[in-house]
Amino acid sequence: MASRPELILASASPRRLALLNQIGIDPEHLLPAHVDETPEKGELPRKLASRLSDLKALTAQHKARQAGIGANALVLAADTVVAVGRRILPKAETMEEASFCLNLLSGRSHRVFTGLTVLTPSGRKRHRLVETRIRFKRLSTREMEAYLASAEWRDKAGGYAIQGIAGAFVVKLTGSYSAVVGLPLHETVALLAGDGYPVHFNWLNQSSLTGV
């Protein structure tokens, strides 16, 4: 009988870990995959999200094998890209970058692409790309200045965190909210369950622990 597969999350993002925990999943290993996220020349946003999620998964699997861990583990990786048209917005690291993003997003619609990749121990890859459309209200100078002062934008794709203060800027969202936060939960459960990870068993355990 095959042993229960483990799960490696190829991310250091507390948001992605919290989303997994929300659906009753606690990865056995956290192996952040630090890769060059610079878009290739002419690369479209959806292609970038897909390529980076694949690259992160492969990088984490290689690190796990070098460390001698997770021999029977699935590797889960994701990458989120914010775009206005064909323009890829940066992961804001400075106030200038965040200000640029907010001015571009104000009063306009944009798209968030989240690539999701699962690698099996044998190296088989399963992939999904989730697209979410979002429209921001027109931001006043005061709102922009206050948001920039909050520093919530730091290290966030597109210079904002929808699960935080910036949630108040969203007029309309079509698609997956959790994908914008960093991990599309519907697709994550489908991929993991399809590769034998006991997602629903964890739910049963969780209900017995909480007395539901």
Quick: pLDDT tens for 167-191. 999 999 999 999 999 999 999 999 9
Taking the C-alpha atoms of residue 49 and residue 40, their distance in angstroms, rounded to an integer, is 12
Whether the predicted pLDDT of 205 surpasses 80:
no
- pLDDT value at residue 101: 97
User: What residues have CB less than 8 Å from 54, skipping those under 6 apart?
Assistant: 77, 115, 117, 125, 127
Whether the predicted pLDDT of 1 surpasses 90:
no
- Is there a catalytic annotation at residue 79? yes
Measured torsion, CA atoms of residues 16, 145, 170, 132, in degrees rounded to the nearest 10: -50
The per-residue pLDDT of the chain, averaged, comes to: 93
- pLDDT value at residue 209: 46
Taking the C-alpha atoms of residue 11 and residue 8, their distance in angstroms, rounded to an integer, is 9
Taking the C-alpha atoms of residue 190 and residue 207, their distance in angstroms, rounded to an integer, is 20
Please choose, from the candidates 110, 50, 44, 52, the residue with its C-alpha nearest in 3D space to the C-alpha of residue 83. 110
Catalytic residue among 26, 79, 155, 195: 79
Select the CATH number that applies to the domain covering 6-210 from these four: 3.30.230.10, 3.30.450.90, 1.10.357.10, 3.90.950.10.
3.90.950.10
Confidence of residue 73 (pLDDT cuts 50, 70, 90): very high
Q: Output 12 or 55, whichever has higher pLDDT.
A: 55
| Structure confidence by residue, pLDDT tens digits, 135-156 | 999 999 999 999 999 999 999 9
Task: State the pTM of this model.
Answer: 0.91
Every domain of the chain and the residues it spans: 6-210
Confidence of residue 211 (pLDDT cuts 50, 70, 90): low
**% of the chain at pLDDT higher than 70:** 94
What's the chain look like in SS3? CCCCCEEEECCCCHHHHHHHHHCCCCCCEECCCCCCCCCCCCCCHHHHHHHHHHHHHHHHHHHHHHHCCCCCEEEEEEEEEEEECCEECCECCCHHHHHHHHHHHCCCEEEEEEEEEEECCCCCEEEEEEEEEEEECCCCHHHHHHHHHHCCCCCCECCCCCCCHHHHHEEEEECCHHHHHCCCHHHHHHHHHHCCCCHHHHHHHHHHHHCC
Cα separations (Å) of 174 from 109, 112, 131, 171, 208? Answer: 11, 10, 9, 10, 35
Structure tokens at 168: 């108040």
Taking the C-alpha atoms of residue 104 and residue 23, their distance in angstroms, rounded to an integer, is 34
User: What residues have CB less than 8 Å from 22, skipping those under 6 apart?
Assistant: 185
What's the mean pLDDT in 200-204? Answer: 72
